Structure 1
Amino acid sequence: MMDTVAVNGEVRRLEELRLQDFLQSFFFGAGFFETFLVEEGAPMFLERHLARLRSSLTAHANCVHAPPPEVLTAGAVREALRRCLEADAHLGPRFTGVGKLVAGDGRLLLSFRALAPQHERTLREGCVLDEVEDRGYRRGDSSLNHKSVSYLRQYAHLGRGTVFVNEAGELCEVPNGNLFFLVRDMVVTPPLEAPCLPGVIRSVLLEQGRLGGLPVVERALTRARLEDVRGCFLTNSVSLVLAVPRLLGHVLTGSSEWAGDARGVVREYARREG
């Protein structure tokens, strides 16, 4: 994490933050976060991230102390981001990296980090998914529709090529993203009740409705139907779209082409939304 942050729009140094200002988030996981790509100083899909953050805060208003509404607007976050970048020479107005918003304890914390060293290589080579975790996800668990700071279940599997599967054998998501499968004559992504996170890039592709001439739909996919999958990619707000060249032992030669098409759609949406 970089040294410069903002708390409710006020630019601060990381070492100035006090634990007592984040007690509910730290001790009970009573908060939510959003991670987004910043390119040349511009946050990507910021309005969508803030809409999801506000939705989670509203759904848990009885147990999470939300920040003031005025700091949860796109204008306020853009201004806080701009002042952070200008205040820190290691960031600078043309910063490209990752921004993170954490909401809880009546505060909105904005922080920054560099892209992972393997970021460009992963974009080129994709991500192999060959491990299954089927003990923690249960169909209809709505807690997993929110990006809570209680993130240990996902964090413990980062970088391990894990697919979370529910008790019915349905593929749900990966620790850091949503899944899309090319199945016969459609592109399928698991429904929210699988459960999975309502990802920002996922929402873009569902709004687009078609990819490579095929419909994009929400539909459950079980491990028993993996033989029907011809391609796969995962989406998240930092890498945007990553090809999955191998899924649970199945080599998928078509993944790169479909991931490229999806990335083009996402980039076009980002350009239009500013």
Structure 2
Amino acid sequence: MSVVIWADGRLHAPTDRILTGVDHGVTVGDGVFETCAVYSGQAFALTRHLRRLARSAAGLGLPAPDEGRVRDAVAEVLAAAGDAGRLRITYTGGPGPLGSHRDEPEEQRPSLVVLAGPATRAASSRVVRVPWVRNERSAVAGLKTTSYAENVVALARAHRQGADEAVLANTVGELCEGTGSNVVVERAGELVTPPLSSGCLAGITRELLIEWAAAAGVPVREAAPGELPYDVLDEVLTGAAHLTLTGSIRNVSPVVSLDEHDVTVGELSRAAAELFQARALDDLDP
């Protein structure tokens, strides 16, 4: 299927010109976005995603998105998209100066673009470590912004090495996240994920996994600061620990290859993946 796009109150073809060349999201990456999986024509966990969209916009200093307008656009796009597997909501600063400074608040006209398209979901993931880091003290740490150039470079490196994701440390050597995923380490009989203080994104799938696994009696928790150093991945290579990725399209995806070496999937990691998929299909807006 092709991509279905909504902007300026109506649907567009993928070849239509939608954003002006001076949109601040285009010129300086001044925007935020959300990506949702789509099941049976409905965006998964849309309420949580819209809540995070508003948090990211506030953190970036953008006016609050009109949730009703966003929901209407989502409904229109999904009605026209048929069997879409992915929904993306992009919200930018709108037309603005060519530099990083913004217009005055009363002059801002934010842009909203919603689109739906196909998605491929893999049951497992292949990852590599990369030499670049997340800055946990960045002004946009924890915000889902459109400034994704670092992720593009890291993911391209992963693809050149036959992987589908790159995993990064932060500036103090802690395990942080993937370019578009959160990470979960299984060791010593529990699932442990880096804390938000590491600079990782507050992933919706990560959030739901913590809730759902805990409710099902699967040992899962956030790590204490410093508990998961980046070299914990060496334990994954030896089989002493296991690694899983979480994300809106991946869901919960156990890692089967790290740094071009096959690694084993842990029992808790496999159980978490099965639990999440079952719960997700049972409640599409948890």
TM-score interval, smaller chain: 0.7 to 0.9
Percent sequence identity over aligned pairs = 24
- Could you report, residue by residue, the CA deviation over 1:226-252 in whole angstroms, capped at 9, with x for unpaired residues? 438522110110121211123457754
Residue 76 of structure 2 aligns to which amino acid in structure 1? A
**Structure 1 residues 44 and 214, CA, compared in 2 at 3 Å: closer, same or farther?**
closer
* 1:254 equivalent in alignment to 2:265: yes
Residue deviations 1:207-242, cap 9 Å, x none?
A: 235387442111141134443852211011012121
Indicate yes or no: 2:175 matched with 1:168. Answer: no
Q: Show the counterpart of 1:232.
A: 243
User: Is the counterpart of residue 145 in structure 1 residue 142 in structure 2?
Assistant: yes
Within 2, Cα distance between the matches of 1:249 and 1:188? 23
Q: How many residues align?
A: 255
Deviations 1:65-120 (A, max 9, x none): 55434313x4x24422344x1xxxxx43xx1321111011223211122224xx4x
What pairs up with 1:56-205 in 2 under 5 angstroms?
Answer: 56-61=56-61, 64-72=62-70, 74=71, 76-83=72-79, 85=80, 91-92=81-82, 95-104=83-92, 105=94, 106-116=110-120, 119=121, 122-123=122-123, 126-133=124-131, 135-141=132-138, 143-158=140-155, 160=158, 161-205=165-209
CA deviation string 1:30-81 (max 9, x = no partner):
11111111122111111111111011112222xx355434313x4x244223
The equivalent residue for 1:245 is 256
Deviation at 1:139, TM superposition (A): 3.1
Q: Secondary structure of 1:156's partner?
A: helix
1:221 aligns with 2:228: yes
Say if 1:137 and 1:234 are closer, same or farther in 2 by CA, change over 3 A.
same
Q: Which runs of 5+ in 1 are unaligned?
A: 86-90
User: Match for 2:129: what amino acid?
Assistant: E
1:52 aligns with 2:40: no
Pair 250,221 (structure 1): closer, same or farther in 2 beyond 3 Å: farther
Which residue identity lines up with residue 75 of structure 2 in the other structure?
E
SS of the aligned residue for 1:144 comes to: coil
Q: 1:142-179 CA distances to partner (integer Å, 9 max, x unpaired)?
A: 51311111101112222614211123221111112000
Q: Do the aligned partners of 2:185 and 2:244 also contact (CA within 8 Å) in 1?
A: yes
Q: Which amino acid aligns with 2:269?
A: W
- The 8 Å contact of residues 125 and 254 in structure 2, kept in 1 or not, is answered as yes
- Matches of 1:164 and 1:223, distance apart in 2: 8
Distance 1:69 1:215, change over 3 A: same
User: So what's the TM-score if we normalise by structure 1?
Assistant: 0.81
Name the counterpart of 2:103.
none
Flag the 1:198–1:263 CA change in 2: closer, same or farther, 3 A: farther
Alignment partners' CA distance in 1, 2:115 and 2:192: 34
CA 263–48 in structure 1, closer or farther in 2 if over 3 Å, else same? farther
